[in-house]
Amino acid sequence: MSPRTGQPASKSRAKANVAAPSPRSGRKSRPPAAPRVKICGLRSLDDALKAVDAGADALGFNFHPGSPRFVELRTAARIIAALPPFVATVAVWVNPGESALREALSACRWSALQFSGDEGEEIKGAFPHDLVVRTARLKDRRSLKTALALPRCAAVLVDAGVPGTYGGTGKLARWDLAAELAAARTVALAGGLSPENVAEAVRIARPYAVDVASGVESAPGVKDAQKMRDFVRAAKSAAA
């Protein structure tokens, strides 16, 4: 699918409103000195600015209507327009329709597109690989083998394997399997991370990035400023 027209995919850059990251080969990116931190599930400008002040490198906006962190596109657009420069923005999708994708791409400037549902290659393959974040729910060695064979992408988001869900459960991912995947692919580790456990997760899995939502909230969809500061501090100090 072409993001501009909805017609069959072209491999040219998807849209002027998708920010171009540095070129990647689709292989493992060299881990930064400290992991990048993505705080996901932002629903208000106040929370987004608190996340930036806490040191977040990227903010995620969840467009899955079944999530307690769902945000309307018009709200996300207002938040993104008010963000300071050099903050990455990630659109998080679960089985989106073509019209929803086109509308979001026209409304906001995105650094990455994260697909966390059962989307086929007709959707994910419509975008340049260096804009796409694919999701792997690692629960055993079979799922690890599948993740290692995923098509080229900017990163693989590792989440917990909870049947019937699309993430956001607060359950821990398999850090041991994530570590094996991170040795070959660029990994963003999610799944039950919190200020209390993220340092250990970073030391074990050695991910390129960590991703948190419920672990820094005072209520579903409501971020806690102190928890965000503690999370960022713990994540980035763990790699020292």
Point out the residues that are catalytic.
40, 159
Work out the average pLDDT over 55-76: 96
Work out the average pLDDT over 124-144: 93
Give the pLDDT band (50/70/90) at residue 239. confident
Share of the chain above pLDDT 90, in %: 75
Indicate the burial class of 228 (C-beta count within 10 angstroms; 0-12, 13-18, 19 or more): buried
Query: Above 90 in pLDDT, residue 9?
Result: no
Give the pLDDT band (50/70/90) at residue 13. very low
Q: What value, to the nearest 5°, has the Cα angle with vertex 94 and ends 89 and 96?
A: 90
At the top level of CATH, which class does the domain 36-238 belong to? alpha beta
pTM, to two decimals = 0.86
Give the pLDDT band (50/70/90) at residue 171. confident
Q: What is the domain partition of the chain in residue ranges?
A: 36-238
pLDDT tens per residue, range 90-117: 999 999 988 999 999 999 999 999 999 9
Query: Above 80 in pLDDT, residue 33?
Result: no
Give the whole-angstrom CA distance, residue 128 versus residue 14: 7
Query: Above 60 in pLDDT, residue 40?
Result: yes
